[in-house]
Amino acid sequence: MESILFAILVSALAFVQGKNCDSLGTLIYEDLGCKAKGGNNNTCPISYDCPQITVKNGTCKFGGTIYKEGNRFNGTNVCMPAVCMSSGIGRMVIDCNQRPEEGCYFANTLDKCCSIDQICDSFDDVEICNVTGRLYLEGEYFTPKGYCLHCICKPNFAGKFVAPFCERIRCGIELTNDPISDKSAPLYLNSPVRCCPIQFIKPTNAIVTHIILSGSSS
Ligand SMILES: *[C@@H]1O[C@H](CO)[C@@H](O)[C@H](O)[C@H]1NC(C)=O
Ligand SMILES: *[C@@H]1O[C@H](CO)[C@@H](O)[C@H](O)[C@H]1NC(C)=O
Ligand SMILES: *[C@@H]1O[C@H](CO)[C@@H](O)[C@H](O)[C@H]1NC(C)=O
Ligand SMILES: *[C@@H]1O[C@H](CO)[C@@H](O)[C@H](O)[C@H]1NC(C)=O
């Protein structure tokens, strides 16, 4: 089963308590459309069931969904819609190239790449979001520390990193890699939060130099 390697990898790490599991590098499983198993509100998942990975010619897989050649779908973010091509997944990059007038700025939203709302001086009616001490204006993006989230300041923000203020980051790893079918291991920077891997290591290239046991701090 293709998901076995991934399951083992996660179970070694999954004993950390707490709902925010982003320190464990679980984001990629969401990205791949895998289903979490064995976790509840207060614990992180023990393993993941990942969807069917074999892709027929003329189809593409993204987020656990199979697309036919010519189908368009949303890629890693709203500024990068994707299209399934015979050679794989192609990406289009939307360049908004918006320059605000003097004394103004463009307020963004999470669901649109380009802003449709220019806000000008004075900013009296503009929401200010206090994100653990740093202030953002309405329509400004922010990334809360310790989470794999992409957020925006908008009215009624109460300091909680939830919808409709925040959404999960997408790594879009299927756009360039097929880590499940070639059983690659994700490689992360050694940082407190592990969102998208910086690279995948194929089993044939892997050399184990140091095994970190679950529960140890190094
Ligand atoms: C998780 O918490 C919600 C509300 O906080 C509750 O309704 C739900 O039953 C809980 N689920 C589990 C699996 O504990
Ligand atoms: C799929 O495409 C590759 C290269 O484009 C080709 O070599 C292969 O024979 C195709 N497989 C099938 C089942 O059509
Ligand atoms: C892409 O996302 C946008 C905004 O969420 C949505 O309106 C659109 O229907 C999506 N497109 C596809 C092809 O799923
Ligand atoms: C923002 O929140 C912090 C607490 O997280 C508080 O100390 C600070 O005074 C707030 N700043 C403003 C301008 O409300």
**For residue range 51-82, what is the model confidence (pLDDT) as tens digits?**
766 677 888 888 778 889 999 988 777 888 88
Each residue's pLDDT tens digit, 100-153 = 999 999 999 999 999 989 999 988 889 999 999 999 999 999 999 999 999 999
Atom of ligand 3 at shortest range from CA of 73: 13
Note whether 110 and 151 are same-domain residues: yes
Ligand 4, pocket-test mutation among 128, 130, 136, 153, most atoms within 8 A of CB:
130
Note whether 113 and 130 are same-domain residues: yes
Asked whether residue 134 is domain-assigned, the answer is: yes
Asked whether residue 215 is domain-assigned, the answer is: no
Asked whether residue 79 is domain-assigned, the answer is: yes
* Number of separate domains in the chain: 3
Strands (E), the chain: 35-37, 47-49, 59-62, 65-68, 72-74, 81-85, 88-91, 104-109, 112-120, 128-131, 134-137, 141-142, 149-152, 166-168, 185-187, 199-201
> What ligand has the least distance to the C-alpha of 158?
4
Note whether 68 and 49 are same-domain residues: no
Whether residue 164 is preceded by a cis peptide bond, meaning omega within 30 degrees of 0, is yes
Asked whether residue 13 is domain-assigned, the answer is: yes
Note whether 9 and 30 are same-domain residues: yes
Can you tell me which residue has the tokens 């140091």? 210
Asked whether residue 164 is domain-assigned, the answer is: yes
Identify the H or E element spanning 89.
Answer: strand 88-91
Ligand 4 and 191: CB distance under 6 A? no
Ligand 3 and 112: CB distance under 6 A? no
Note whether 112 and 155 are same-domain residues: yes
Higher pLDDT, 21 or 57: 21
Residue nearest to atom 9 of ligand 4 (CA): 133
Give residue 33's pLDDT.
84
Distance 28 CA to ligand 2 centre (A): 28
Residue nearest to atom 2 of ligand 3 (CA): 74
Note whether 47 and 63 are same-domain residues: no
Q: What average pLDDT does the chain have?
A: 83
Domain extent at residue 109: 104-168
Query: Please, are residues 119 and 136 in contact by the beta-carbon 8 Å criterion?
Result: no
Note whether 150 and 189 are same-domain residues: no
Note whether 116 and 164 are same-domain residues: yes
Note whether 121 and 156 are same-domain residues: yes
Higher pLDDT, 105 or 39: 105
Identify the CA nearest to 180 among candidates 34, 11, 44: 34
Tokens of 153: 């300041």
Asked whether residue 218 is domain-assigned, the answer is: no
CB-based pocket (< 6 A), ligand 1:
40-41
Ligand 4 and 215: CB distance under 6 A? no
Note whether 164 and 186 are same-domain residues: no
Asked whether residue 98 is domain-assigned, the answer is: no
Asked whether residue 162 is domain-assigned, the answer is: yes
